[in-house]
Structure 1
Amino acid sequence: MQMACRKEEQMQDPDMLAIGKEIVRKCSGVPLVVRTVGSLLFFKKTKPEWLHFKDNELLEVSQREDRIVFVLRLSYDHLPSHLKQCFALCSLFPKDYRIKKQTLINLWVAEGFIQPLNRSRHLEDIAHGYFVDLLSSNFFQDYEKDIETCKMHDMIHDLAGLVAGTECWVAWEDTKSILERTRHISHGLTSNLMRELPISRLKASSLRTFLSAMPEPTYGEMEQREPTSEVDLRQLIQSFKSLRILDLHATNIKNVPRSICKLKHLTYLDFSHNNALKRLPNSITRLQNLQTLNLYSCSALEELPRGIRKLVSLRNLDINECWKLSYVPHGLGQLSSLHRLTRFILPKDKALHCRLGELNGLNNIGGTITIENLGHVTNAIQESKAANLIGKHSLESLELRWGYLDTEDEVIGDRDEALLDGLMPHSNLQNLKINGYKGKSFPRWMMDSLVFSLPNLVEVHLQQCGRCKYLPQLGQLPHLKSLSIWGLDELEYFEPDHSFITTPFPGLLRLHIGYCKNLKAMPLTPHLEELMLSKVNLELINQIFGLNKLKSLDISEMDFLECLPEKCFQSLTSLEDLSISCCHRLTSLSLGMQHLTNLLNVSFLYCEELNLSKNESDNILDLQGLKSLQCLNLKALPEQIEALQSLQQLEIIRCPLLTSLPEGMRRIASLSHLRIAACPDLEERCKKDAGEDWYKIAHIPHIIHELEYYDDLL
């Protein structure tokens, strides 16, 4: 009922309530049906509409699949036509696939599915509205806001395939030839593309969409895949000249044929995750209709086509994680339709003629942009003003990177101050990151009135600004949730005077502080949920108290930390995750550990002197709800480890002094995963059926032994 009613008074209307209960009864307790019907009723406002739906449209649902599909189809039938085609296209993704919202938006725009409402609204913004409508109608589920992905329920996916009919064809589900009327195909092939999907099977000469629907691969997976040959790509291009969507991500492409320009209808081109691709042919700039060019994680890409200004329809250019790309070409600023540009890389070589002024007219760009190599700007005042960042009202996130110039020259500092002063963004900005700034102070628009110049800030990251002694009045920002201060050696205090602020940092949830050796105090607000301290003054450790909502605490590189103060933990009653790493003098834990009654996950990494078997440290055994324990380079485990009766996962990594396991290991019935890595003596004792300690771990279902250990596995 809550999903179906717009207003509280509808919930209180006895007639509406009675009709709603009867509708719920007809749903027979099937969660997917209840959610779907609830979202459908949300758009029906009156009692007659609800009655008509109950009596004439909704069948009595049972657990039978055909009845459930009927209700789902009913919900689809109520969708407006523009949403129906957007939903049907989603059948191209495999079941349980995590779909990126940005990918859907770009695909729908490229297919021409978006109906422009007026000139003032970007197509991408309208497409975002379509996504929200389908999400709220339960056609999408499991939406993760941080990474902006979603999934489709298996039965919803079946419905998408049903309504798409022969228009869409999924290569991994069918080995037959494609019908001539098919317009959209997708594949999940990880080996040779054309050998597995020969052109002879592709009879649909009017194909509009060729989509790779593989999950993002690891580097090792890409290394094992057979390259897609240039010959095969030429054959694909020659066969399907009507293509609008060509997605070849993660297909191990090394060279793109010049004939790519023959795809004159192409609006969407995805070469992302092709780690061997070094450059694109200049002929690609003849694709006058191209709207999206996705080169994300083409880690070997060295340059973009110099004639990129000819791509007059380009709206989205993603060059994130193209690590070898050292500049963007001159002329990028002529792409007036550009709506999304992930990076703007200034050249270190002045002969390449690309300047900040290229950004001047690109006022439609939104989302996130990183401007790099600002340390190589020479005419700071003129170029920063020419960038016109204050005119980019759709920009949500801005990162300014100076590059690490190994100099402390006063002239450099003065130039950086003038440069940052002219790079003031629009007041709509939500995330601001500044990295490698060499000025002694931040500009007036930050120091004097940040709450007026950037009132909507949610995240602030200040990194490697080593000469700055003072911060802006960040505590005034009403919406600030995440703050990271890293590498500000001269910083002593956050804000010296809070007297005029009723509650500083009223919404702060995440605070990360690292490499600020002179910082004497930090803001600890009652709402804080995540705290990370790395290589800071020990005084900050003593200030951890009163944080009864803190869920995650990470302490690292505290060279002089020998014991955690007991009072630190007394109020951390909500703490779930605790990580302590690279504290080389730490010998024992705090007696206050007993207060961490909600702790689920603990990691001790590179704390060589920490001995968990010592009596004063046995209080870790009080953590009977602990589910995961990770130990790297420790001396010993607690002898009475069987007290951890909720422990499910244990990792023992690079602990050469740990030569045997406690006897109590055999009595931890809940333990399901054990990983032992780079512990040669322990490995020998834990050999299956032969090792002296095997009987202690034989009951554990999943055991991993690794001779070597790699940090990226953590």
Structure 2
Amino acid sequence: MGEQCPPELEDLGKKIVESCDGLPLSIVVLAGILAKLERSKACWSYVAENEIWHHFQQKAKCIDILALSYKFLPQNLKPCFLYVGHYPKNSKIYVRKLIELWIAEGLIPKETGNKLPEDVAEYYLMELIDRSLIQVESKRTDGGMKVCRIHDLLRAFCIEESKRQKFYDIITATGSSNLVNPRRLFMYQKASTSSLGANHSSVRSLIFFGGGGGDLICWKAILKDFKLVRILDISSTHMVPRIPNRIVHLIHLRYLKLRCVHGYSSRIPKAIFDLWNLETLEIAGISVILPKSIEKLKCLKRLCLPRYSYIPSLNGPSNNLKILSYVSFRDSNGPSLCHMCELRKLGILLREEICNPHVFWQNLPTLANLQTLKIHGYNFPRIDTTFPSKLTKITLLLESEDISLNSWGHF
């Protein structure tokens, strides 16, 4: 947008704008539609003569304009747009997590030429932004998107359309919409699984927001009633101090995000590592110690842990990992990274008393796809290394201030 309107389309353009009755969201969304349409009288006339303009109530007209915008979306963008509507009203939507969920939900094709799913997802998000269906709130230091939002009316449209398609349902403290066989359930604050009824065999995604579930949530209910779930996020609940070994029965899990409660064992049960479909494992809360059996997760691509967590030197799944943070390797020989050729983001704790950091710096150049690096607790007088060519961001969280950036090798 921001380009000159072709003279032959000016009259049609003015007619469309006048029909919006001054509603800012309607004007912005329609501009997004027109920007993606062929600049011909036939296409613009279809919009100008659409039956939505016959509504007299402004809100009804606005909703119909949003429906028209949805109708013009390419088929591959429609489920991605509807999915954004599940976030609570006025909440910040963190782009990294949204993209991870899109991928885990199967909304992004696994292979698109030589592009990674993450790159395709970012392109889809930019397409929705260009159509003014999603708003950018903040960006990363490298210019990428960090946080986005969705307008309340757009969100309301997504929820209603998703219910119509049985795409997802939202459960609040007052209950659900009694949607039959939804594929996705999103539990808001103070919602309870007891309000859902008995049959959850169709549910493939179960996500809690803002303490949803509280003390009413328990592993027993999840393990019994959601056996086919693929995506499980209970990190915002005040839930379970321990992860039961029976979690191995959730064999379809691809995405697991949870929180370890302070004061209980920080060791993760080995049963988690029998979930061979798992692609994302994210654990919040206190630091954890992972067993050697993590190597059994051949599909694991994202492993995000609390700071000061420990993992063994990896050989099995490491060639598939794209995100690894925040970890330390308990290995006197230093962390072995040479197998992590696909790694894009790394957060690591380096301390001489735990491992030999020199090995890390020797291996760093082998991480050819690394883009983001966070280092905590490092204290060396000089670093002699070559940084990967794709590395665009380094964050240093140093315990000592006697390190000069001039001694940090070559970018």
Question: TM (normalized to structure 1)?
Answer: 0.51
Shift of 1:152: 1.7
Matched, 1:35 2:11: no
Match of 1:152 among 147, 150, 153: 150
Query: Is the counterpart of residue 76 in structure 1 residue 70 in structure 2?
Result: yes
Question: Superposition pairs for residues 474-489 of structure 1, below 5 Å?
Answer: none
Change in 2 beyond 3 A, CA 1:79/1:173: farther
Q: Which residue in 2 is equivalent to 1:555? A: none
Deviations 1:30-75 (A, max 9, x none): 1110110001111113222223322346625655211111110010
- Residue 170 of structure 1 corresponds to which residue in structure 2? 170
1:392-411, aligned counterparts within 5 Å? 392-393=368-369, 395-403=370-378
SS, match of residue 32 in structure 1 = helix
State the one-letter code of the partner of 1:295: I
Q: 1:62 to 1:81 in 2, by over 3 A?
A: same
Q: Distance in 2 between matches of 1:108 and 1:373?
A: 33
Contact 1:95/1:154 (<8 A) preserved: yes
Question: Which residue among 113, 137, 140 is the counterpart of 1:143?
Answer: 137
Question: What's the secondary structure of 1:167's corresponding residue?
Answer: coil
Taking the TM superposition and a 5 Å limit, the aligned residue runs for 1:56-75 are 56=50, 59=53, 64-75=58-69
Match of 1:129 among 105, 123, 129: 123
The answer to whether the aligner puts 1:301 opposite 2:287 as a matched pair is yes
Determine the structure 2 residue equivalent to 1:372. 349
State the alpha-carbon separation in 1 of the partners of residues 66 and 115 from structure 2.
Answer: 32
Structure with higher RCO (Cα < 8 A, 6+ apart) = 2
1:288 to 2:276 alignment:
yes
1:413-452 aligned at under 5 Å gives the runs 413=381, 417=382, 420-422=383-385, 424-434=386-396, 436=398
Mapped partners of 2:247, 2:335: distance in 1: 31
Q: Of 348, 365, 374, which aligns to 1:389?
A: 365
What's the CA shift for 1:93?
A: 2.0
Residues 188 and 210 in structure 2, CA contact (< 8 A), matched pair in contact too: yes
Cα offset for 1:105? Answer: 0.8
Larger mean CA deviation between 206-215 and 23-32 belongs to 206-215
Change (3 A) 1:469 1:283: closer
Residue 356 of structure 1 is matched in structure 2 by 335
Change (3 A) 1:286 1:472: closer
Residue 209 in 1 paired to residue 205 in 2? yes
CA distance in 1, matches of 2:242, 2:49: 61
CA RMSD of aligned residues (A): 3.1
Q: 2:325 aligns to what?
A: 342
Equivalent residue pairs, number:
401
Q: Following TM superposition, by how much is the alpha carbon of 1:251 offset from its aligned partner in structure 2, in angstroms?
A: 1.4
Offset at residue 313 of structure 1 (A): 1.0
> Under a length normalisation based on structure 2, what TM-score does the superposition of the two structures give?
0.86
Q: CA distance change for structure 1 residues 159 and 331 in 2, over 3 Å: closer, same or farther?
A: same
Alpha-carbon distance between aligned partners in 1 of 2:62 and 2:214, rounded to the nearest angstrom: 43
The AA in structure 2 aligned to 1:83 is L
Between the aligned partners of 2:86 and 2:263, the Cα distance in structure 1 is 27
Per-residue CA distance 1:329-372 (angstroms, 9 max, x = gap) = 2226633221211234132x63xx7x332x21222222x42232
What secondary structure is seen at the aligned counterpart in 2 of 1:335?
helix
Identity %: 24
> Which stretches in structure 1 are left out of the alignment for 5+ residues?
218-224, 405-411, 437-462, 478-714
Asked if the contact 1:177–1:203 (Cα under 8 Å) also holds between the matched residues in 2, the reply is no
Measured against aligned partners, the alpha-carbon deviations of 1:109-165 in whole angstroms (never above 9, x if no partner) come to 111111245352111111121222222222222522248222221111111112111
CA change 1:331–1:154 in 2 (3 A) is: same
Q: Aligned partners of 2:226 and 2:124: how far apart in 1? A: 29
Between the aligned partners of 1:125 and 1:111, the Cα distance in structure 2 is 16
Which residue of 296, 301, 324 corresponds with 1:315?
301
Residue type of the partner of 1:466? D
1:237–1:260 contact (8 Å) kept in structure 2: yes
Distance 1:471 1:304, change over 3 A: closer
Whether 2:241 is the aligned partner of 1:265: answer no
Aligned equivalents of 1:282 and 1:431: distance in 2? 34
2:129 touches 2:136 (CA, 8 Å); kept in 1?
A: no
Q: Is the 8 A contact 1:340 1:365 kept in 2?
A: yes
Contact persistence 2:136–2:148 (CA under 8 A): yes
| Alignment-derived partner of residue 466 in structure 1 | 402
- Specify the alignment match of 1:485 in structure 2: none
Residues 100 and 202 (structure 1 numbering): CA distance in 2 closer, same or farther, change over 3 Å? farther
What SS does the corresponding residue of 2:247 show, helix, strand or coil? helix
**Secondary structure, counterpart of 2:281 in structure 1:** strand
Name the residue aligned to 1:680.
none
Amino acid at match of 1:211: I
Partner of 1:46: 39
What amino acid does structure 2 have at the position aligned with 1:31? P
What is the CA distance between 1:226 and its match in structure 2?
5.8
Structure 2 unaligned regions, length at least 5:
none
Distance 1:275 1:15, change over 3 A: farther
Q: Map 1:237-276 to 2 at 5 A.
A: 237-252=223-238, 253-272=240-259, 274-275=261-262
How do 1:78-93 residues align onto structure 2 when only pairs under 5 Å count? Answer: 78-93=72-87
Conserved? CA contact 1:356–1:384, under 8 Å: no
Matched residue type, 2:129:
L
